[in-house]
Amino acid sequence: SERFVHCLDADSGKERWQVSTKVNSSKKHQKNSWASSTPVTDGSRVYVLFADDASLMAVAWDFSGNEVWRRDLGSYESEHGLGASPILYDQLLIVPNEQVGPSSLIALNAETGEVAWKTERLPGTTSYATPMVVSGSQSGEQLIYLSESNGVTSVEPFTGKLNWQSKSFPSRTVASPVESDGLIFVTSGGGGTGKYLVALQSDPTVSDETRTVFERKTTLPYVPCMIVRDQRLFLWGDKGILVCLEIPTGKELWTERIEGGFS
C-alpha cells in the first residue's frame, strides 16, 4: 500500500505537490487511521512517521517535495497501528517508539537523519501519546514521555539521560500529557474510557515519594487530551462528560454532560 504527503497552498487550497512512500499492510484500530501521526516542520523541512509491522520509518522532505533523508528505525509491532507524532527540539527530531516489541525514545539529527541518541524502554502496550518539552525555572528543559509499562519519564533532551520516572500505569496511554506551573497531568485507560489520572511535579529534585500531587480514577477521558487554562484542568470524556478540576488540588469544581461520543 501507499501513504501520501500532500502540500497545499494555504491561501487557495490548491495542491502544490504530493509524495508517497510504500508500506506493507498492517492492522489498525477502527478509530485509528493510516494518517494519525501528525507531521512536524521546522520551516525548511517537513518530517513524517510511517509504520507497518516491518518498520517504523521517519522521512524528511523539503518544501519543494524533494526527499532529504529517510531512516528505518526497526520493526513496529502494535495492537492498533501508529498514532504518536514526532516533535522537534532544537535541531533534533524526537521520535516516540513505544510498542509491543523493542521500544525506545529516539532523537534524530533533523538535517541528516542520523541517530543523535537512543534511550531503550521497556516494551509493552503500545503508547499513542506524543512527547512534550517542559521548562522549569530551576531545572531547565525536560522531555516528558509516557507509556503503560514505563509510566511517565523525564529525560534530558540533548542526551536522552533519565532525570526521573514514575511508577507504571494500570492501562494504556493514548492522550498526550499537558503541563501547568510545574505540574504534569497524564491519563490512561482502556475499553473506551479513562481509568486513571495523575498529577506529577516535574521538578527533578523532588523525591519519588512526594512527586504525585493528586490522583483520580472516575469520570476521565481516554482518547481526548486534557486542556489546561487559568488554574483549571478540563477533562473532555469519550462518552460526553466534561469535568473541570481545580489546579493544583484536583478538586472537582463542576461537571456537565454533552451529547455524543468524542475522540
Q: Which amino acid makes up residue 152?
A: V
Per-position pLDDT tens, the chain of length 263: 888 999 999 999 999 999 998 887 777 777 767 778 899 999 999 999 999 888 899 999 999 999 999 999 998 888 888 889 999 999 999 999 998 889 999 999 999 999 999 999 999 888 999 999 998 756 689 999 999 999 999 999 999 999 999 999 999 999 999 999 899 999 999 988 999 999 999 999 999 999 999 999 999 999 999 999 999 999 999 999 999 999 999 999 999 999 999 98
3-state secondary structure 11-72: CCCCEEEEEEEECCCCCCCCCCCCCCCCCEECCCEEEEEEECCCCEEEEEEECCCCEEEEEE
Would you give the DSSP letter of residue 148?
A: T
User: What angle is formed at CA 61 by the lines to CA 35 and CA 53, rounded to 5 degrees?
Assistant: 40
Q: Which residue has the cell 509516557?
A: 146
pLDDT tens digits along 121-133: 999 888 999 999 9
Produce one character per residue of 36-61: b if its CB has 16 or more CB atoms within 10 Å, e if not: bbeebeeeebbbbbbbbeeebbbbbb
Cell numbers standing for residue 153: 519519564
The torsion defined by the Cα of 44, 136, 95 and 188, in degrees rounded to 10, comes to -130
pLDDT tens digits along 150-196: 999 999 999 999 999 999 999 999 999 999 989 999 999 998 899 99
pTM here? 0.93
Is residue 163 within 8 A of residue 198, CB to CB? The reply is no
User: What angle is formed at CA 178 by the lines to CA 173 and CA 180, rounded to 5 degrees?
Assistant: 150
Q: Which residue has the cell 490522583?
A: 215
